[in-house]
Amino acid sequence: MIRIALACLLTVLIETAFLYIVGFRTRYAGTVVVCANVITNLLVNLCLAVTGLYGVLILAVLESLAVATEYGIYVSAFGREEKLFIKTLAANVISFLSGFLFF
């Protein structure tokens, strides 16, 4: 359980910082980003923990679903913005690779 909490914290810190750098600087944006990441990260990690599946395919599917979910949340919160999907994907790739190296 500590590992899941650390993974969530790392994800929130990295993705929030990255999205802040690329322009999401308001308190509202920060709140949306943190909430979206807590939800998706906990769901991904709980799915992995419950199923015990850790293969490349399952990770790819779950991470893709997380990106799609976060993107949908961001579109709902901020509207359609140029390069929003790319920013969302980049934030997730950076946090995934950081988590992979950290754990």
CA nearest to 69, candidates 100, 102, 47, 101? 47
Task: Give how many domains the chain has, as a whole number.
Answer: 1
Output the tens digit of pLDDT for each of the chain's 103 residues.
Answer: 898 999 999 999 999 999 999 999 999 999 999 999 999 999 999 999 899 878 889 999 999 999 999 999 999 999 999 999 999 999 999 999 998 898 7
CA dist., res. 82 & res. 58, Å (int): 30
Domain encompassing residue 44 = 2-102
CB 8 within 8 A of CB 41: yes
Angle at 61 between CA 57 and CA 66, to 5 degrees: 145
CB 23 within 8 A of CB 5: no
